[in-house]
Amino acid sequence: MSVGHTGVTTEPVVSCGDEHEDCGIREVLDRIGDKWSVLVVVELAQGVRRFRQLQRAVPGISQRMLTLTVRRLERDGLVTRTVHPMVPPQVEYELTAMGHSLTYLVKALTDWSAEHRDAIAQARQEWDAAYPDSGIR
Amino acid sequence: MSVGHTGVTTEPVVSCGDEHEDCGIREVLDRIGDKWSVLVVVELAQGVRRFRQLQRAVPGISQRMLTLTVRRLERDGLVTRTVHPMVPPQVEYELTAMGHSLTYLVKALTDWSAEHRDAIAQARQEWDAAYPDSGIR
DNA sequence: CAGTATCCTCCATGATACTG
DNA sequence: CAGTATCATGGAGGATACTG
């Protein structure tokens, strides 16, 4: 995917077209852009998980945020929540077909990230060296 | 790069592996997850743009946020900033090769969004109907 | 175990004014 | 035109306690 020099390469034609607003990117971004959704989806991509399993698998997430995150994913039709009436309670979360399709997008995300993290880190170092106290971070 | 399958298909094997942290997703997410970066990148995907051009192309963005956004993109090596010394000042922003490669990811994002926005909207309606005052949004 | 219910904090964003 | 400098604020997220 070398975009190389001056020449125009094959553009992915990403544009908002005639939309006045912001395409529909915001909708997705508002979901995957938050702090935990993607990490929860990544874990659920491995299979069915219970609440505490999820919390242990996503270090640092609070009970409250995990609840909010899975609720929103459920509301969007990306995750199913299955309650098994027993003591102690058992609730299982699982990706829907749509939630599953999202993992392909997430993979694209991680791939791009892995591919460019070094270049980004270097660019940042150079920039920070050039403008030591710019306030930008 | 068709992201949209239906049903269970071959898994993209998206996992954090043995990483304790959160892969490198957070780095990308922190950039594309913010309110404006993606929209600016989308506009710059069309070609070279000046500051005011960008601001007009991205409705709702404040001068301050546009400055911050392009600065951060520049710092990450995704955008170049070229100052032409003249009166009035002229500054041009352009995607780097890496910034360009990001547009493919953004396209995957918009594609997925376009493909599932209806399903998501419907899932939300149904959920909101089932749990009228849940507080979730 | 799987959550609710509160309270609180900080930071991303916004609004406004000024400048080379 | 292309910014900087301040000040203000809302809401995402965190901490803690309690419950069926």
pLDDT digits over B44-102, tens only? 999 999 999 999 999 999 999 999 999 999 999 999 999 999 999 999 999 999 999 99
CA distance B39 to B70: 11
What is residue A90's DSSP assignment? E
CA distance A78 to A81: 10
What is residue B78's three-state secondary structure?
A: coil
Q: What is the pLDDT of residue A22?
A: 61
- Cβ-contact A97, A43 below 8 angstroms: no
Residue type, position A54, single letter: L
CA distance B51 to A32: 28
Q: How far is B82 from chain A (nearest CA, A)?
A: 15
- Cβ-contact B7, A95 below 8 angstroms: no
Task: For chain B, give the longest Cα–Cα distance.
Answer: 61
Q: CA of B99 and C1' of C13: distance in angstroms?
A: 24
Residues of A in contact with B99 (CB under 8 A): none
Asked if A109 has any chain B CB less than 8 Å from its own CB, the reply is yes
The reply to whether CATH 1.10.10.10 applies to domain A25-130 is yes
Q: CA of A92 and C1' of C16: distance in angstroms?
A: 50
Above 50 in pLDDT, residue B1? no
Count Cβ atoms within 10 A of the Cβ of residue B44 and give its class: 0-12 exposed, 13-18 middle, 19 or more buried: buried
pLDDT tens for each residue of A108-120? 999 999 999 999 9
The domain limits of chain A are 25-130
Q: Rounded to two decimals, what is the model's pTM? A: 0.89
What's the Cα-to-Cα distance from B136 to each of A69, A71, B33, B124, B128, rounded to whole Å? Answer: 10, 7, 20, 10, 9
Nucleotides of C under 7 A from a protein CB: 1-6, 12-17, 20
